[in-house]
Amino acid sequence: MIKVLFVCMGNICRSPMAEGAFRKAVTDAGLSNQFHIDSAGTIGYHAGSPPDPRAQETARKNGIDISGQRSRKVTTSDFEEFDYILAMDNENMRDLKSRRAGGKAALSLFLSHAKNIPINEMPDPYYGHHSQFDQCYAAAVDASNALLQTIIDAKLKS
């Protein structure tokens, strides 16, 4: 089982959409039984809350239901449990690195895997216009497809 965790600050916008986009890529590839996919936040302010309604709407209009996801805070055990932890921006990456006390997880910026997006940080759409959720979702799809191929090449091809 390959375990992948997506992380933003509150776990209600970017990381839930990234989790949904990656889950769709994995499902479309017929690999669902080989992956455990989750998302979390570096803060616990929204713990137990569903994704932001705008994130849910954006995912829904792209054929993905993320309404069942619930926000949670990153834990120390996540660094040992997950194989890959993907941060949405440099601030969250710094926070993850400062909390890490070992573990096997490979840390990287999620958009650093994208093939068609010229930025490494996922902009936070929370205080922006609804169209920013669409832009984040499109970036998540690009990065998800490339990340999945990287994982297939590294872990699933023999």
Amino acid at position 126, single letter: Y
Residue 95 falls in the annotated catalytic set: no
Which of these is catalytic: 14, 54, 89, 95? 14
Q: Classify burial at 47, counting beta carbons within 10 Å of its beta carbon; exposed 0-12, middle 13-18, buried 19 or more.
A: middle
Which of these is catalytic: 38, 52, 95, 124? 124
Residue 124 falls in the annotated catalytic set: yes
- Beta bridge partners, 85, equal 5, 107
Question: CA-to-CA distance for 83 and 80, rounded, in angstroms?
Answer: 8
Question: CA-to-CA distance for 144 and 150, rounded, in angstroms?
Answer: 10
Residue 14 falls in the annotated catalytic set: yes
Which is nearest to 24 in space by CA: 71, 76, 64? 64
Which of these is catalytic: 8, 38, 54, 89? 8
- The residues carrying an active-site annotation are 8, 14, 124
